[in-house]
């Protein structure tokens, strides 16, 4: 069955539908990774978004539940140039997996042209239809009128509702789940006893977990969302009491807590090939990233530790007893250049 995606700028792209027949709306973003399609689609940082892959064929090694970064697909929909009909492994093919997760897919469109449009105009609101229940003209109108996903509290939607523990030995790490990838939990649990807590735990609740270190996760949406103000205030208090580390959204929240500001990037950084430079050593790392906002206007007490070599944006900061990075050191799958940063968790705890 034919499907289509309509953009707020009036563009409509037609393709072949697969996955679960449905009409959805969301923010169109693209990912440049060649592998890791399951990890990307199940990453809570993509909540509220329609994810397009720039790599020409997706699904060539099949789909398995062991590759999930959360308990389900988090994107609203998926767009590919082509999905692989005969994967060489896996329990399901890409179409079967999307059907199981009730997520619509669209293939056969010019993803290169759609990527160029997104890069030139910035991320766009979009409506995608694969069930024939809406006309493209109506889709354009709906796209222009819809709210940006980041206007909602996406963090509250994807965070755990109850605290849970992972790891059986080592120091106590309290991990804020703002949309955490399970590969982060797994990395931390190798050498630590990890308590994962909901997004809005207050200072008293965190102190009851008896942390040796606070770790702030990745997640979706606007770090400066009104509902996150109390979270920032909580972190302002906690960084005075405990060593603190942040990744992605955690990096942005730490920056806000230290007095910096955030802004929305034109089209974000999403993929496994983002080059960042360590300011002090000038070492370059190839990193995995997934974010649409960035830090700037940092106070003098905050050092910028990493910068993005593509656009010069802030990729890492440090201050007294705390540090953070915008990229994903766990990169599962992806470049392992920055995985060494997880070793610094123990160094922070041990002073």
- As a whole number of angstroms, the distance between CA 117 and CA 20 comes to 26
DSSP symbols for 241-253: TS-EEEETHHHHH
- E-strand stretches of 84-205: 104-107, 124-129, 164-166, 172-176, 193-197
Catalytic residue of the set 25, 27, 107, 330? 330
The closest of 123, 145, 117, 138 to 4, measured between CA atoms, is 138
Query: Cα 244–226–267 angle (5° rounding)?
Result: 80
Dmax (CA) of the chain: 61
Q: Which strands sit side by side in the sheet containing 314-319, from one edge to the other?
A: 164-166, 193-197, 172-176, 213-216, 244-247, 322-325, 314-319, 303-308, 261-278, 284-296
The closest of 314, 309, 315, 269 to 30, measured between CA atoms, is 269
Burial of 336 (0-12, 13-18, 19+ CB in 10 A): middle
Catalytic residue of the set 63, 129, 248, 314? 248
- As a whole number of angstroms, the distance between CA 117 and CA 176 comes to 36
DSSP symbols for 187-239: HHHTTSEEEEE-TT--HHHHHHT--SEEEE---SS-TT-GGGHHHHHHHHHHT
Q: Using an 8 Å Cβ cutoff, are 25 and 126 in contact?
A: yes
1's tokens: 């069955």
Backbone φ, ψ for residue 104 (5° rounding): -80, 145
Backbone φ, ψ for residue 132 (5° rounding): 70, 15
Q: Is 330 a catalytic residue?
A: yes
Q: Is 328 a catalytic residue?
A: yes
248's tokens: 């992605």
Active site residues: 248, 328, 330
């Amino acid at each position: 069955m034919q499907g289509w995606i309509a953009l707020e700028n009036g563009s409509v792209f037609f393709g072949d539908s697969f996955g679960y027949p449905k009409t959805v709306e969301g923010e169109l973003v693209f990912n440049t990774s060649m592998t890791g399609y399951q990890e990307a689609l199940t990453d809570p940082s993509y909540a509220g978004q329609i994810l397009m892959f720039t790599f020409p064929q997706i699904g060539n090694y099949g789909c398995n539940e062991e590759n999930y970064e959360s308990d389900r697909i988090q994107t609203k929909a998926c767009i590919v140039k082509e999905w692989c009909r005969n994967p060489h492994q896996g329990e399901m093919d890409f179409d079967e997996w999307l059907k199981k997760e009730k997520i619509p897919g669209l293939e056969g469109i010019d993803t290169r042209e759609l990527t160029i449009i997104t890069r030139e105009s910035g991320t766009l609101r979009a409506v995608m239809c694969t069930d024939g229940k809406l006309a493209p003209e109506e889709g354009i109108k709906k796209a222009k009128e819809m709210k940006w996903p980041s206007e909602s509290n996406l963090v509250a939607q994807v965070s755990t509702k109850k605290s849970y523990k992972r790891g059986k030995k080592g120091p106590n790490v309290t991990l804020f789940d703002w949309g955490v990838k399970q590969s982060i939990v797994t990395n931390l649990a190798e050498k630590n006893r990890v308590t994962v807590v909901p997004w809005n735990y207050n200072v008293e609740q965190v102190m009851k977990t008896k942390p040796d270190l606070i770790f702030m996760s990745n997640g979706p949406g606007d770090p400066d969302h009104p509902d996150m103000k109390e979270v920032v205030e909580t972190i302002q208090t906690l960084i005075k009491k405990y060593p603190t580390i942040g990744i992605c959204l955690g990096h942005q929240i730490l920056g806000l807590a230290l007095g910096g500001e955030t802004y929305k990037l034109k089209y974000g950084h999403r993929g496994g090939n983002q080059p960042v430079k360590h300011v002090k050593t000038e070492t370059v790392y190839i990193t995995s990233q997934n974010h649409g906002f960035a830090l700037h206007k940092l106070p003098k007490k905050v050092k910028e530790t990493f910068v993005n070599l593509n656009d010069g944006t802030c990729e890492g900061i440090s201050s007294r007893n705390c540090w953070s990075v915008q990229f994903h050191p766990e990169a599962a799958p992806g470049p392992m250049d920055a995985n060494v940063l997880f070793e610094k968790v123990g160094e922070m705890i041990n002073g």
